[in-house]
């Protein structure tokens, strides 16, 4: 239906490029110095740039430190409920974040405290008793990547206030690592059964029979290589890193996890998330409250002991971060390029937004502001076992209604299956996943990494290990055989009963009864 | 290599790979799943009730041609009990609509549906050719879009129909979700994934192809041998939409489900209540009676600008202020006829 212009073929289809700055080359703030940087059409000098970025940073972080941190309240009353964890990637934004957090909230030297007024930020009480810097090394996920843990350690060692907590992505598949946080390992690990049958989107979990000799790295790689698209691999890496950071934040008694998401990267992750079906969690992309058990908070969703994820650079663009790092002479370790990452939706979105930002500098802020005005349509108590974010129920029904994949109409098509004789017990995982994670595990592409092997008719099902944290959420399934022989529940949560049903013709007929004139006449 | 058999019926030779699911299926099964999915969309949303008078917005392009065929098929197969009409808008673009209107006229014969063609010239006294002569190519999509929406409603009111169905497909909707986010149009973002929209006294509008991939619509037309005209508008400098479309095609190539995933995202969120409260309330245009968020509806503002030689009045704030500074509209200003909501009986004869 759409019939408007295509900029690739029509020169007229492109709008005129706007000038880089509005008025003069003089700083808009002090109006005396020549400008050094253009931020969305406005020119700033170097002296004014630093306070500008600092104020944008503090404006986001300060109000969310505790419940009393409302605007206008005395700044000295700030005291967080727990410790601080900084999620660090080695990129320029997280390097700047580290610098800003250290300068504004952690460095309390005695000389500085004699300067300034009584409410000056230098006179803060200790806001967070401890500050940890968490870095997740992902080099073992892919071939040929460099381990940068030691380089990161050197950067962090320059800041006395931070304790370095290195993690590795394979920890997600290491039961010993998780047992440190109170997760009780199972006698056998869970594995994911991905059906290669394109007539269904069924995903099952079952007890693994053969993975006792495998290492966390091999399990991680088996999991990633089983995913059907590059997009799925990259999204899964992000999800694993996120859950590891959250779990470590919780384990270190942190009330806050701060991440170096800039305005640019926030816009990219918002659009990329929406393009992967994550519209229900658009709010969590900006800020979220997380606790490992099922979501049982008050109306605001805040749960005691939860970790608040804050992105204090969300009003600061990537260009400003790069300028800060350059002018402040910060050492940026940089991020390793993930092989074939450019084929994923995340990379495509990044190219698109960065390209658009060049011609329309307000784009990223418009995207972030627009998404900030959105809320999930329904409330849901269900939480995705994989990404640990709120999930809508009925994902599979929705998908099967709009994309018919089979003419067979089995009443209880998606259900708990237990075939004690020939197969290990299996549990349908799909109803415990959010839309985006379900899509990650099932959506195929003709150019996908695993497409060819999945289309091989000889393979009826591929079985791959699952991250360890998923097990406690599948309560009904995991209440048996712990290594210690007990049979109690793994966690007190997991109220969800994962059972759903595909609509039959009769169900559909009931729904359309008013349209069926013959039936009405009868 | 032996030919693959259809993954659905396991009988016939697979003739195509479904863009939506990647399944290799035969032609007959494709027709069945495509039509059933549209039927599911219609029944799940309870779009119609028996006896409804429904106008199909027909442009002669692929979407509306397939929509007319599928609506007629489903109406007969599932006994919806609908009275179907074809409604076409002639924008007055030389060489653009001529062929496609011929397609619509042929559809009228083939499907035995009454047809009403309403022209911009008849309704507004301006063709798009004349508008482009005055405003140039830069903002003409604004005029065309606003005028078309109102023209469809007015044409539907003349036919006395309760409902207009349009051929907007899944690609169009996904593209619109992205566009509205990128340009911050929160009001449209809130409603663009709704299958059915209805103002206080306007006619219902629905998109039965909401979940149908553009490629599958083309495929359907191809296998059913439906002829249509694929004509790109010659006045189309909407750069932003062009960017969004190219991006969407890239996403679809990376993962075909991206189109449906974006629509699912759009359905999963809504505008926060406190933001909703700041939105303008709906009122009626004091000049033409059509729904409006200001005293004058957008079409009347645009038309007044054209008539008074200040076409930018309906596009920019500066243009509007300039128009206001010129004084009130003259009494003899050409205006759009007053809008009468649909009545049970048509007010015009159909072809």
- Output the six-digit token pair for A30: 């002090």
What are the structure tokens assigned to B270, written together?
Answer: 């809504």
Segment 258-277 of chain B within 8 Å of chain A by CB: 258, 260-262, 264-273, 275
Per-residue pLDDT, A331? 92
DSSP H stretches of helix in A21-64: 46-61
Mean pLDDT of the region B34-48: 94
Torsion angle of C-alpha atoms A193, A194, A195, A198, degrees rounded to 10: 170
Contact B192, B91 (CB under 8 A): no
Contact (CB<8Å) B237/A5 = yes
CA distances from A411 to A194, A392, A408, A505 (A): 21, 22, 10, 10
Residue A17 is predicted with a pLDDT of 56
Per-residue pLDDT, A484? 39
Please judge whether B178 and A198 are an interchain contact, meaning their C-beta atoms are less than 8 angstroms apart.
no
Q: What per-residue confidence (pLDDT) applies to A459?
A: 40
Closest CB to B242: pick one of A5, A275, A512: A5
Residue B140, number of CB atoms within 10 A of its CB? 22
pLDDT score at B107? 87
Q: Answer whether B167 touches A (CB < 8 Å).
A: yes
Q: What is the mean pLDDT of residues B245-269?
A: 94
Chain A partners within 8 Å of B61 (Cβ): 1, 3
Average pLDDT over residues A296-320: 75
Q: Which residues pair with A163 in a beta bridge?
A: A132
R_g over Cα of chain B: 21
User: Cβ of A435 and B264 within 8 Å?
Assistant: yes
| B331-336 contacts at long range (C-beta below 8 A, 24 or more positions apart) | B333/B304, B333/B307, B333/B308, B334/B125, B334/B303, B334/B307, B335/B287, B335/B288, B335/B300, B335/B303, B336/B123, B336/B124, B336/B150, B336/B287, B336/B288, B336/B290, B336/B299, B336/B300, B336/B303
Sign of CA dihedral B216, B222, B223, B225: positive
| Interval B264-273 mean pLDDT | 92
Asked whether the beta carbons of residue A7 and residue B166 sit closer than 8 angstroms, the reply is no
pTM to 2 decimals?
0.83
And the tokens for B187?
Answer: 């009001």
Is A195 strand, coil or helix? Answer: strand
Kindly state the DSSP code that residue B5 receives in the 8-state scheme.
B
pLDDT surpasses 80 at B34: yes
Of A15, A270, A443, the CB nearest to B255: A443
Check residue A366 and give its pLDDT.
93
Distance, in Å, from the CA atom of B137 to the CA atom of B131, rounded to the nearest integer, reads 9
Which residue's entry shows tokens 């079985």? A463
User: Which of the residue ranges A21-35, A64-78, A169-183 would you say has the lowest mean pLDDT?
Assistant: A64-78
What is the pLDDT, as a whole number, of residue A257? 96
ipTM above 0.95? Answer: no
> What's the pLDDT at A430?
82
Least confident of A157-166, A198-207, A443-452: A443-452
Please report, for residues A113, A307, B149, the alpha-carbon distance to residue A84 in angstroms, rounded to integers and kept in the order given: 22, 10, 54
Q: A408: Cβ–Cβ under 8 A, 6 or more apart, which residues?
A: A199
Q: What chain A residue is nearest to B37 in terms of C-alpha separation?
A: A402
Query: What tokens does A396 get?
Result: 């599979």
pLDDT in tens, A216-274: 999 899 999 888 899 999 999 999 999 999 999 999 999 999 999 999 999 999 999 99
- The mean pLDDT value of chain B amounts to 86
Is the CB of B178 less than 8 angstroms away from the CB of A444?
Answer: no
Q: Quote the pLDDT of residue A401.
A: 85
More confident of the two residues A454 and A19: A19
Least confidently predicted of A494-508, B46-60, B279-293:
A494-508
**Owner of token pair 């503002």:** B301
Question: Are A229 and B255 a contacting pair at CB < 8 A?
Answer: yes
Show Cβ contacts of residue A419 under 8 Å, excluding neighbours closer than 6 positions.
A425, A426
Put simply, the answer to whether A373 touches B80 (Cβ < 8 Å) is: no
Phi-psi region of B21 (alpha: psi -120 to 50; beta: other; left: phi over 0): alpha
Tell how strand A83-88 and strand A131-137 pair up: parallel
Do the chains contact at B241 and A4, CB–CB below 8 Å? yes
Nearest residue, CB atoms, A231 vs list B239, B242, B255: B255
pLDDT in tens, A372-391: 999 999 888 888 989 999 99
Q: Nearest CB to B242: which of A13, A374, A445? A: A13
Does A172 have pLDDT greater than 90? yes
| A378-393 core/surface letters (b: 16 or more CB in 10 A; e: else) | eeeebbbbbbbbbbbb
Instruction: Tell me: pLDDT of A12 over 60.
Output: no
State how far residue B122 is from chain A, nearest Cα, in angstroms: 23
Higher pLDDT, A191 or B48: B48
Average pLDDT over residues B217-241: 77
At residue A140, the 3 state secondary structure works out as helix
Judge whether residue A406 has pLDDT over 90.
no
d(CA A457, CA A461): 10
Q: How confident is the model at residue A496 (pLDDT cuts 50, 70, 90)?
A: very low
* B196-197/B204-206 β-pairing: antiparallel
Alpha-carbon gap: A399 to the closest alpha carbon of chain B (Å): 9
Comparing A7 with A434, the larger pLDDT belongs to: A434
- Report pLDDT for A72: 54
**CA–CA separation, B185 and A370 (whole Å):** 8
Query: What percent of chain B clears pLDDT 70, i.e. is strictly above it?
Result: 93
Q: How far is A445 from chain B (nearest CA, A)?
A: 5
pLDDT band at A280 (very low <50, low <70, confident <90, very high): very high
Any A CB within 8 A of B16 CB: no
Q: d(Cα A378, Cα A397) in Å, to the nearest integer?
A: 17
From A155-169, A352-366, B89-103, the region with the lowest mean pLDDT: B89-103
Q: What are phi and psi of A106, to 5 degrees?
A: -120, -30
Residue closest to A230 by CA, chosen among B262, B254, B23: B254
**Residue B251 Cα, gap to closest chain A Cα (Å):** 6
Query: Residue A492 — very low, low, confident or very high, per pLDDT cuts 50/70/90?
Result: very low
A280 with B268: Cβ contact below 8 A: yes
Report the pLDDT value the prediction gives residue B197, as an integer from 0 to 100: 83
pLDDT at A123: 58
Measure B112 CA to nearest chain A CA, in Å: 22
């Amino acid at each position: 239906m759409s019939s408007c212009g295509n900029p690739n073929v029509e020169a007229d289809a492109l709008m005129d490029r706007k000038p880089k700055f509005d008025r003069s080359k003089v700083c808009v703030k002090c109006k005396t110095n020549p400008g050094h940087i253009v931020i969305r059409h406005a020119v700033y000098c170097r002296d004014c740039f630093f306070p500008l970025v600092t104020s944008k940073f503090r404006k986001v972080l300060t109000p969310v430190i505790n419940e009393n941190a409302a605007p206008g309240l005395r700044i000295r009353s700030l005291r967080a409920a727990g410790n601080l964890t900084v999620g660090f990637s080695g990129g320029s934004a997280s390097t700047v974040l580290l610098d800003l957090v250290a300068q504004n909230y952690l460095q309390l030297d005695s000389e500085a405290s004699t300067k300034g007024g009584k409410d000056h930020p230098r006179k803060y009480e200790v806001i967070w008793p401890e500050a940890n810097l968490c870095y997740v090394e992902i080099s073992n996920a892919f071939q040929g990547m460099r381990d940068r843990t030691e380089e990161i350690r050197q950067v962090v060692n320059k800041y006395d206030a931070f304790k370095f907590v290195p993690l590795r992505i394979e920890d997600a598949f290491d039961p010993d690592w998780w047992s440190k946080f109170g997760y009780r390992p199972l006698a056998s690990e869970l594995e994911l059964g991905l059906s290669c049958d394109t007539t269904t989107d069924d995903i099952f979990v079952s007890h693994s029979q053969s993975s006792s000799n495998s290492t966390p790295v091999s399990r991680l790689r088996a999991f990633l290589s089983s995913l059907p698209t590059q997009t799925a691999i990259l999204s899964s890496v992000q999800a694993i890193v996120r859950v590891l950071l959250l779990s470590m934040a919780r384990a270190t008694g942190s009330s806050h996890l701060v991440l170096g998401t800039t305005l640019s990267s926030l816009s990219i992750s918002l659009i990329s998330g929406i393009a992967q079906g994550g519209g229900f969690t658009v709010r969590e992309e900006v800020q979220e409250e997380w606790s490992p058990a099922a979501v049982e908070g008050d109306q605001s969703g805040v749960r005691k002991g939860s970790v608040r994820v804050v992105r204090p650079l969300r009003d600061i663009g990537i260009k400003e971060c790069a300028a800060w790092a350059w002018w402040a002479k910060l050492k940026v370790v940089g991020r390793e390029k993930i092989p074939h990452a450019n084929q994923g939706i995340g990379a495509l979105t990044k190219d698109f937004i960065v390209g658009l930002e060049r011609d329309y500098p307000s784009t990223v802020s418009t995207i972030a502001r627009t998404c900030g005005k959105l809320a999930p349509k329904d409330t849901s108590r269900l939480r995705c076992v994989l990404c640990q974010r709120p999930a809508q129920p009925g994902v599979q029904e929705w998908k099967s209604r709009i994309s018919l994949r089979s003419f067979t109409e089995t009443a209880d098509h998606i259900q708990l299956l237990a075939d004690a004789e020939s197969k290990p017990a299996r549990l349908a995982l799909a109803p415990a996943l959010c839309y985006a994670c379900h899509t990650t595990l099932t959506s195929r592409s003709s150019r996908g990494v695993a497409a060819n092997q999945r289309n091989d008719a000889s393979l009826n099902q591929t079985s791959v290990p699952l991250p360890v944290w998923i097990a406690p959420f599948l309560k009904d399934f995991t209440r048996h055989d712990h290594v210690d022989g007990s049979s109690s529940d793994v966690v007190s949560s997991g109220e969800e009963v994962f059972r759903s049903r595909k609509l039959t013709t009769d169900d559909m007929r009931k729904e359309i009864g008013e349209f069926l004139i013959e039936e009405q006449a009868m | 290599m032996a030919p693959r058999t259809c993954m659905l019926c396991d009988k016939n030779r697979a003739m195509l790979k479904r863009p939506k699911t990647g399944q290799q299926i035969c032609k007959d099964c494709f027709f069945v799943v495509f039509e059933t999915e549209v039927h599911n969309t219609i029944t799940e949303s309870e779009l119609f009730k028996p006896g409804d008078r429904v106008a199909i917005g027909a442009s002669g392009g692929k979407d509306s041609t397939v929509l007319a065929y599928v609506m007629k098929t489903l109406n007969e197969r599932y006994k919806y009990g609908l009275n179907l009409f074809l409604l076409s808008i002639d924008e007055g673009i030389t060489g653009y609509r001529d062929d496609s209107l011929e397609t619509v006229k042929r559809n009228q014969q083939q499907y035995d549906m009454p047809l009403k063609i309403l022209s911009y010239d008849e309704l507004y006294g301006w063709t798009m050719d004349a508008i482009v002569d005055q405003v140039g190519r830069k903002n003409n999509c604004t005029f065309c879009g606003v005028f078309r929406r109102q023209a469809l409603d007015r044409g539907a009111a003349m036919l006395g129909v309760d409902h207009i169905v349009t051929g907007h497909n899944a690609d169009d909707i996904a593209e619109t979700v992205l566009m509205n986010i990128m340009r911050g149009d929160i009001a449209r973002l809130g409603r663009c994934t709704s299958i059915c929209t209805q103002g206080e006294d306007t006619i219902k509008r629905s998109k039965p192809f909401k979940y149908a991939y553009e490629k599958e619509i083309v495929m359907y037309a191809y296998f059913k041998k439906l002829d249509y005209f694929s004509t790109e508008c010659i006045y189309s400098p909407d750069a932003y939409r062009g960017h969004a479309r190219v991006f969407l095609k890239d996403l679809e190539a990376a993962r075909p489900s991206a189109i449906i995933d974006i629509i699912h995202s759009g359905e999963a969120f809504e505008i926060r209540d406190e933001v909703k409260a700041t939105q303008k309330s709906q009122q009626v245009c004091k000049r033409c009676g059509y729904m409006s968020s200001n005293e004058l509806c957008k079409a009347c503002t645009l038309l007044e600008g054209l008539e008074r030689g200040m076409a930018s009045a309906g596009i920019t704030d500066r243009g509007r202020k300039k128009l206001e500074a010129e004084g009130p509209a003259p009494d003899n200003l050409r205006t759009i006829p007053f809008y009468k909501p649909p009545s049970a009986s048509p007010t015009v004869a159909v072809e």
